[in-house]
A = this chain, B = another copy of it.
Amino acid sequence: MSAGRLYGVGLGPGDPGLVTLRAAEVIRSAEVIAYPARPGEPSFARSIAAGLIPAGVEEIVMDVPMTPARGPAQAAYDTGAARIAEVLAAGRDVVCLCEGDPFFYGSFMYLHARLSARFAVEVVPGVTSVSAASARAGRPLSARNERVAVLPGPLSDGELRARISEAESVAIMKLGRHLGRIRAVLAGMGLLERALYIERATLAQERILPLAEAPDPAPYFSLILLTKGEDPWL
């Protein structure tokens, strides 16, 4: 008996319409799905795919705590990977549901790291929240020889300032309690007017605001989009 295959399926930013045809096909034929969830909360990835998941599918839920320390989350991926490995070893495929793109700040890479040496893996890339935010805000990210930087919000003020100054377009992720500090950095650089705050892009609850009006702290599914390049590229 040959082992099953592990699928890491990107589901895009939230609108079920932004799932790819290949992702939909893989999910519709799934017998076992796996996804992370914060303990006691519904899984965002599962909610995007809900209309595609077959009845009677077996579900492996990985309860991943959001703690500053890495240990508890990594222990949850150890446990999840072990369960998934049992299913794969028994010859059944496992479809892991991933919001956004599996390899772009996605938790799938923790499973990939634990399982890809032993099992066949197919990664189905997805639309990132950065592309979605750019599309929804009507702000092109990059043209010609422009540079794009994607930066996590927890970086230091000095690091943010340096990286922002050296790119035409910048997406800042993982805002949370860092939002006020990042806003002050951008204001100090004279860039506040060009920065947008985008929350839950493509979902019904989507909000697009000037960064000056963004909530502080920011919810998890939000980002800042800063475009400094030439416009309108005529």
Contacts and interface: CB of A to CB of B under 8 A. Distances in A.
Interface of A: 8, 10, 12-13, 15-22, 24-25, 74, 101-106, 109-110, 112-114, 116, 121, 123-128, 131-132, 134-136, 138-152, 154-155, 162-163, 166-167, 174, 231-234
11 contacts: A12-B20, A13-B125, A18-B125, A103-B134, A105-B143, A106-B140, A109-B233, A124-B135, A145-B155, A147-B155, A148-B149
A24 B25 CA distance: 14
Nearest to A102: B135
Given A135-B123, A147-B163, A154-B145, A140 B103 contact: yes
Given A103-B139, A125-B135, A142-B105, A234 B162 contact: no
A64 to B, nearest CB: 13
A60 B171 CA distance: 34
Contact of A166 (B20, B143, B162): B162
A194 to B, nearest CB: 16
A154 B151 CA distance: 23
Contacts of A146: 152
A104 B22 CA distance: 22
Given A113-B232, A140-B103, A145-B154, A21 B22 contact: no
Contacts of A139: 103
Contacts of A150: 142, 147-150
Contacts of A25: 17
Contacts of A136: 123
Given A131-B126, A148-B149, A20 B17 contact: yes
Contacts of A112: 138, 140, 232
A110 B216 CA distance: 35
A70 to B, nearest CB: 8
